[in-house]
Structure 1
């Protein structure tokens, strides 16, 4: 019984510590996210990567609603080159109770959830920026694998205006042939 209590205690402390990592001034969030319009494939155009996605090529994040406020996610990329080993992760997104639908928790490993904020989405749902209060990770994504330099610069500037360091934002290589499917 003591081991069970100790295990529960360690998990509870870990969750509290993980949640306390949400430090920093508030970050902008999209006013209103239509979840149905947000679903589908998003190509990662630029990011401040997590450790698992360093060296990612052809990175794609795909969303599908599985039930109310639960988003099945598939994140895939080739490691270190276009021909590199294909990596696929399937975290679950949990849409928070904020009426904007812009605040999610992303769970890669139970019971831990990471803050995931839709900072920006354009009215046509062609571009989005995902960020975190800590400004440690960032994802600039688009519905197409290539976007104009002007569009990319505009999205990077939005991130910089929210406190992200421009020097840490890296472009993600994207190269798709016409027949390829993300």
Structure 2
């Protein structure tokens, strides 16, 4: 029962989990960026393994200390398997498996859940997962949601260039994300 409660709570706050890509859009107000999903996403290019470079603290990631990954795989039902894994303080690996689905009319917006399938009908089980920005070559991505309470900076590589990382953080701040508590879990070079 505790696992179900954990899965429901995780799904309610998580949204860690694809033509031409859209990068940041300006709202025109003091250089601020809109907090909206990209308007074009090539899902087949987005699938695969991503390394988490940084994230805003989330209770379901509290045991993760290093080597956090998210792997997205297309399922036969056209939904996406989301497999999040990380190393814990004792050196073991922990993993959670969820499911994502695309949102009609918004290629960069997905809904994700980590609760059992039979709870999929419960309101709030499916959480927002917005791809806010993605590299034209799909080497990095920034994921968040409408609440601005969670944010992930992802990369295909387990480290990130410092100039790029700083630019992505500045863009997130321009979107209204508070990054004082940003957890950096990968090398910044």
Q: Do the two structures share a fold, i.e. TM-score over 0.5?
A: yes
In 2, Cα distance between equivalents of 1:126 and 1:40: 11
The CA deviation at 1:161 is: 1.0
1:85-124 equivalences in 2 (<5 Å):
85-99=92-106, 101-109=107-115, 110-111=119-120, 112-124=125-137
In 2, Cα distance between equivalents of 1:127 and 1:49: 20
Aligned with 1:160 (options 173, 176, 181) = 173
**What TM-score do you get using the length of structure 2 for normalisation?**
0.73
| Structure exhibiting the larger radius of gyration computed from Cα positions | 1
Provide runs of 4+ in structure 1 moved above 3 Å: none
Q: Which runs of 5+ in 1 are unaligned?
A: 1-13, 20-25, 175-182
Contact 1:45 1:171 in 2 (8 A): yes
In 2, Cα distance between equivalents of 1:119 and 1:67: 26
In 2, Cα distance between equivalents of 1:148 and 1:27: 24
Larger helix share, 1 or 2: 1
**Which residue of structure 1 lines up, in the alignment, with residue 79 of structure 2?**
70
**What TM-score do you get using the length of structure 1 for normalisation?**
0.76
In structure 1, the residue corresponding to 2:72 is in which secondary structure? strand
The CA deviation at 1:126 is: 0.4
Q: Does 1:132 align with 2:145?
A: yes
How many corresponding residue pairs? 149
In the TM superposition, what whole-angstrom CA distance separates every residue of 1:99-133 from its partner, at most 9, and x where no partner exists? 4x111111111331111111111100001011011
The CA deviation at 1:141 is: 0.2
**Which residue of structure 2 lines up, in the alignment, with residue 54 of structure 1?**
62
Aligned with 2:52 (options 27, 44, 47) = 44
Q: Which runs of 5+ in 2 are unaligned?
A: 1-7, 14-33
User: What's the Cα RMSD here?
Assistant: 2.0
Greater alpha carbon shift after TM alignment, 101-110 vs 47-56:
47-56
